[in-house]
Structure 1
Amino acid sequence: MDDKTRTELEAAAFRRLRDHLMVQRPDVQNIDLMNLAGFCRNCLSRWYQEAATDQGIEMGKEEAREIFYGMPYDAWKAGNQTEASDEKQELFKKAFAENVGTTPKDA
């Protein structure tokens, strides 16, 4: 397989994952994704931002989130995010540190 085709297939798979998380399963909470899989929607938007930076495109965290979420992040949170239990929040801190390597602030 040539590089162009591989890149197109990877991009299509990414778009399908985004659609699945944003349209088909917005009920799945970011905290549950992070606790179970070690990444969440915010990670995906951060990886998008990092890829843009690697290509010389300046992009801030909020801009990347708006591109990924299809709306401002605060609007998505208001419509989709539920309150997490203390237990989930503790698990999240551990998962975030293990997978992102920093302390969560607004993940």
Structure 2
Amino acid sequence: MAAPEFDEATRTALEAAAFRRLVQHLRDRTDVQNIDLMNLAGFCRNCLSKWYRAAAEERGLALTYDEAREIIYGMPYKEWQARYQKEASAEQLAAFAANAPKDH
């Protein structure tokens, strides 16, 4: 069965809604560490922040990496780190080293 065809505006609205839901899900799941996301999926909150910033820049909008991270994390990154980030285990670090994309 083929996926339905949507006009550009509808497709963009659906993609934006799905993205907002993903971001909210990641904000709610503070127990999930970025290294876990990287090891399992090859992307993390910081990747989303970089992609968000790149999309803004493509449209001529000024947005710093820290501002983009605050949008994704729902708070300043330093605050998120202090509240939720845990020390990575040796196993997590080894998995990351073995599988990390070249741009990390």
What's the TM-score, normalizing by structure 1?
0.86
- Structure 2 SS opposite 1:71: coil
Equivalent residue for 1:11, pick from 11, 16, 21: 16
Q: Which of 17, 21, 25 is 1:20 aligned to?
A: 25
* Corresponding residue to 1:47 among 37, 48, 51: 51
3-state SS of 1:83 partner: coil
- Number of residue pairs the alignment of both structures matches: 99
- Change over 3 Å in CA distance of 1:93–1:66 after alignment to 2: same
Q: Which has the larger radius of gyration?
A: 2
Deviation at 1:87, TM superposition (A): 2.1
Q: Which residue of 2 aligns with 1:88?
A: 92
Aligned mates of 2:89, 2:33 — CA distance in 1? 12
Q: Distance in 1 between matches of 2:72 and 2:82?
A: 16
Rounded to whole Å, the distance in 1 between the matches of 2:99 and 2:58 is 26
Stretches (4+) displaced over 6 A:
none
Same amino acid, percent of matched pairs: 59
CA distance in 2: counterparts of 1:50 and 1:93, whole angstroms: 25
Unaligned runs of 5+ in 2: 1-5
TM-superposed CA distance for 1:38, in Å, is 0.2
Which amino acid letter does the alignment assign opposite residue 36 of structure 1? L
Structure 1 residue aligned with 2:80, among 66, 71, 76? 76
Q: Which residues of structure 1 form unaligned runs of 5+? A: none
